Amino acid sequence: MVQPEADWAGRQVYLGIEFGYVYGTCRAVMMPIEIGAVLYRPEDDSVRYLGEQFCYDVDVEIWKKVTDGCGRTVGVATTVANMGRNEYGMPYDHSYRIPDDGMLAAKATAEKAFADLRRFMESAVSGGDAPAIVVFAASMEKRAFHAAGFSLDGCVLVDLQREIRRQFGMKQVLSLDRLARLIDFSTDGSAVASTHFRYPVSQECRHLLAAHRGMGDAVRTFLLAREFQENRLHLEERIRGLMATCGGDGEEEDGTSA
């Protein structure tokens, strides 16, 4: 069950999970391909970064939103990647279908990736106190936790996208792309920053901070939550200004994480 903000005052785990559909399955087989996590301790304002790629020799479709100058989604760009072979940016053919004997193999590979996700989550939330797990748009994550057999018992799941909409009385939701612009998200390689916050980033994570990557989206969600918690009036002013400039109440929720 997704919980309101009042229940996530303790230790927090901010997640960004990237998914891919096995190429040629008509989106029938989905699997996690990358995850990033920011572990935050409010008592000493400290952060720790965890990330993992689930690398298997299988072709997956990578769907990335295309945004306009206001951060609104105007389309989707699709490529094919094979993370097991470290191959990215291969052309996508919407008419391609996987051979019949490949479907069982695709499902078996997806099961392995979900098992990897479960192990990662069990490691991330271990350590005594039950954390709040904060995600941006929770529908895909809830499906993934179920498929992975990861139990949320003892944890609080917070959907930051819905929480922002609820707090500001918005009819629709805003994407992470749009909100990241409003908090002036930036990275210079050694640190990530928003309007009022700045946190160092470890050397091994610095190449993972792009938008629509697991770590990049986890960090953007984390800084958005910090601004939402500590500078709510300023964030609301920026959101109202965006609506006035770009029109509408934002984007309709579509179950994606970006």
| Beta-bridge partners for 60 | 22, 81
Between CA 37 and CA 47, with CA 9 as vertex, the angle to 5 degrees is 35
Structural contact between residues 250 and 172, judged by C-beta atoms closer than 8 angstroms: yes
Distance CA 258, CA 205 (A): 20
Predicted confidence (pLDDT) per residue in 103-134, tens digit: 999 999 999 999 999 999 999 887 556 689 99
pLDDT at res. 171 = 83
Distance CA 184, CA 186 (A): 6
Candidates 1.10.287, 2.60.40, 3.30.420, 1.10.1200; correct CATH number of 5-17+31-49+111-246? 3.30.420
Show the low-confidence residues of the chain (pLDDT under 70): 1-9, 70-71, 127-130, 247-258
Structural contact between residues 59 and 82, judged by C-beta atoms closer than 8 angstroms: yes
* Side chain identity, residue 134: V
pLDDT at res. 247 = 56
Distance CA 99, CA 22 (A): 12
pLDDT at res. 254 = 39
Task: Enter the pTM of the model.
Answer: 0.89
pLDDT at res. 32 = 97
Distance CA 150, CA 51 (A): 17
Spell out the domain ranges in the chain.
5-17+31-49+111-246
pLDDT at res. 7 = 59
